[in-house]
């Protein structure tokens, strides 16, 4: 008999969490204007809002917290992180930032400043902050993801792949000077935490090189992507995760990274380059926006913890347990008939809200409705990846309806047990059971002009 995976760690410290009553939750979510971001964390039983910065650090990372060198320039902790970036990612130049969106801000300021009019940035279902930085500068994000990604029932091993014909068409129709960069997100969060194959990475790289276009990874979940290449792509089953990561990064010109994901830290990010000239240009903006080049908005202790986290996240045993827990929740959901994106991704389970609420119009935000109902039912907090997140068209100011309307349940790293996964699935099943009795969703009462989903206020219709 093949032994099942078991977590490659044991629990040393625990944090108590408290259940609220259903009546309490009904009042709390109404007071929060039906925005799950507005809830106090202590009023959430299982928090799956994000896997960003919510993981549990190891004893070796906590040791680095105590060893942190807080020198303003040239701290020992910086050089520990520099060594990890060079060893694991094979990137000769890098800048630390306080998180991923800060790295994006520095990168896009370097590439296009505040005037991105007429420019386009192709990619595979850009993350919300990535798209926000692009559109804020007047540029346009063009989604080139394969069509299979937008059918939750299709069993495709690499739904994060870029459609090469779509990308080639963009290159053919757009002057080179209007394409500052292509962003390849690994794994692709917005399409359901789906990985990108090595074959696709190589092919996209060749298209970009032939067109003279810079290619960067959004590498927040690079290690999880490497894990799926190892277990799903022929020819990589006998390679180590670190070997696969090195090959992945050999095909790109650089990366942004929210290290709060596969860096397994509570705060941190980085921006890495192969090209020294581009690195030098970015240095000025990093100093302006983040801090000096060797700390970039982070304390020395955070730099040290990240240097260890990058190494730990590229260990197969860790990734097998990490992705295995996500798959465990996915399998439980499938048992209950809950419609989820398949195959299961690396960091989250994505529930298809259009299948849970086929009778709720898109204008009433069915994925947000599902998130609110799950909180009321079980005290579980997820996040909408749908029409609210897609935001309004910057020109027409009309809602944009994405191809998928999903509730994301992002699982923090090394935090919850499979008993918690059982509880989450049962809560979803209860919502599914009464879904037909829920007759309407929400209307917006207030929203920000961009990236509205973080602060939007809603009312029940």
Tokens linked to 132? 């926000």
Q: Looking at 19, 41, 63, 72, which residue is catalytic?
A: 72
Catalytic hit among 69, 128, 163, 399 = 128
Nearest to 461 by CA among 389, 379, 376, 365: 365
The alpha carbon torsion through 197, 202, 204, 208 (nearest 10 deg) reads 160
- The yes-or-no answer on residue 422 being catalytic is no
420 is an active site residue: no
Q: Prior bond to 161 cis, omega within 30? A: no
Angstrom distance (rounded) from CA 316 to CA 407: 28
Q: What is the DSSP letter of 17?
A: -
Contact between 326 and 342 (Cβ < 8 Å): no
Residue the block writes with tokens 């809602």: 399
Determine whether 261 is an active site residue: yes
Question: Could you tell me if 391 and 418 are in contact, meaning their C-beta atoms sit under 8 angstroms apart?
Answer: no
Question: Is 128 known to be catalytic?
Answer: yes
Please enumerate in sequence order all residues whose Cβ is within 8 A of that of 309, keeping only pairs 6 or more positions apart, or say none. 57, 58, 61, 259, 262, 263, 264, 265
Beta pairing class for 269-273 and 254-258: antiparallel
Which one of the listed residues 220, 223, 259, 272 is annotated catalytic? Answer: 220
Residue 185 main-chain phi, psi, to 5 deg: -90, 125
121 neighbors 182 (Cβ within 8 angstroms): yes
> 133, 159, 230, 261: which is the annotated catalytic residue?
261
Short-list 199, 288, 209, CA closest to 244: 199
Q: Which two tokens stand for residue 198?
A: 């090595």
Active site residue 453: yes
Beta-strand runs (E) in 274-416? 348-352, 380-381, 383-385, 406-410
Residue 408: Cβ within 10 Å count: 27
Exposure string over 395-404, b if 16+ CB within 10 A, otherwise e = eeeeeeebeb
Residue appearing with tokens 């070997």: 243
Which residue among the candidates 218, 253, 302, 391 is catalytic per the annotation?
218
The residue to which tokens 């690499």 are assigned:
158
Q: Please tell me which residue in 127, 158, 357, 423 is annotated as part of the active site.
A: 127
Which burial class, exposed, middle or buried, applies to 16 when counting CB atoms under 10 A from its CB (0-12, 13-18, 19+)?
exposed
**One of 80, 260, 332, 453 is an active-site residue; which one?**
453
**Lateral strand order in the sheet of 348-352:** 348-352, 406-410, 383-385
The structure tokens listed for 379 are 């005290």
Distances in Å between the Cα of 142 and the Cα atoms of 66, 165, 167, 360 are 44, 13, 9, 28
What positions carry a catalytic annotation? 72, 127-128, 218, 220, 261, 453
């Amino acid at each position: 008999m093949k032994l099942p995976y078991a977590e490659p760690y044991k629990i040393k410290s625990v944090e108590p969490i408290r259940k609220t009553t259903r009546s309490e939750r009904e009042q709390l979510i109404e007071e929060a204007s039906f925005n799950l971001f507005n809830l106090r964390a202590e009023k959430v039983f299982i928090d799956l809002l994000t896997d960003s910065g919510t993981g549990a650090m190891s004893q070796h990372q906590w040791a680095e917290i105590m060893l942190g060198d807080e020198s303003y320039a040239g701290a020992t902790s910086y050089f520990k992180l520099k060594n990890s970036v060079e060893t694991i990612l094979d990137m000769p130049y890098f800048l630390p930032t306080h998180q991923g969106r800060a790295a994006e801000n520095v990168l896009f300021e370097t590439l296009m400043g505040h005037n991105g009019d007429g420019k386009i940035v192709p990619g595979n279902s850009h993350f919300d902050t990535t798209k926000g930085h692009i559109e804020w500068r007047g540029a346009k994000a063009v989604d080139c993801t394969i069509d299979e990604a937008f059918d939750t029932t299709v069993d495709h091993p690499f739904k994060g792949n870029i459609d090469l014909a779509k990308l080639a068409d963009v290159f053919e129709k757009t002057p080179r000077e209007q394409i500052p960069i292509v962003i390849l997100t690994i794994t692709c969060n917005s399409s359901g935490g789906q990985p990108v194959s090595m074959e696709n990475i190589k092919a996209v790289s060749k298209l970009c090189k032939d067109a003279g276009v810079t290619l960067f990874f959004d590498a927040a979940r690079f290690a999880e992507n490497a894990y799926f290449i190892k277990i799903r792509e022929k020819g990589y089953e006998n390679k180590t995760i670190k070997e696969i990561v090195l090959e992945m990064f050999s095909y790109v010109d650089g990366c942004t990274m929210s290290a709060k994901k596969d860096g397994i830290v509570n705060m941190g990010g980085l921006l890495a380059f192969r090209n020294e000239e581009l690195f030098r240009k970015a240095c000025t903006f990093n100093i302006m926006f983040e801090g000096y080049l060797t700390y970039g908005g982070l304390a020395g202790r955070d730099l040290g913890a990240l240097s260890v986290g990058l190494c730990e996240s590229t260990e197969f045993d860790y990734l097998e347990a990490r992705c295995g827990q996500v798959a465990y929740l996915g399998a439980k959901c499938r048992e209950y008939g809950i419609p989820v994106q398949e195959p299961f991704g690396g960091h989250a389970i994505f529930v298809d809200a259009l299948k849970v609420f086929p009778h709720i119009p898109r204008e009433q935000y069915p994925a947000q409705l599902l998130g609110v109902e799950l909180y009321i039912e079980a005290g579980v907090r997820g996040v909408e990846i749908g029409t609210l997140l897609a935001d309004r068209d910057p020109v027409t100011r009309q809602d944009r309806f994405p191809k998928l309307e999903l509730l994301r349940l992002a699982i923090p790293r090394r935090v919850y047990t499979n008993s918690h996964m059982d509880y989450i699935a049962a809560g979803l099943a209860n919502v599914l059971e009464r879904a037909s009795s829920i007759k309407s969703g929400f209307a917006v009462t207030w929203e920000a002009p961009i990236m509205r989903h973080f602060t939007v206020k809603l009312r029940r219709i």
